[in-house]
Amino acid sequence: MAGARFHVSGVVQGVFFRASTQARARELGLTGWAKNLADGRVEVVAGGDAAAIDELERWLQRGPPGARVDAIEREPFDVPAGDGFARL
């Protein structure tokens, strides 16, 4: 199982970014979470198939309608075992 943590910046809070990310991650069969950060970014942690994580990263570059993604930072991450994909 692969894992990655993304920090997404831009207009990514208040535009259903976490809910949309959760839906897309579930479609891709990933586990993890999406969480708003105090600095205005969204943290996305995803675990599962490496190709699915790459596909999620491509989706994160656009985000949902209403979002404006300025930058994405990606780093390897050991995702804790668990079920599903949560919004925190």
Catalytic residues, which ones? 18, 36
Degrees to nearest 5, angle at CA 80 with 2 and 78: 40
Give the pair of three-digit tokens for residue 81. 């075992």
Distance CA 56, CA 53 (A): 5
Give the pair of three-digit tokens for residue 32. 């993890």
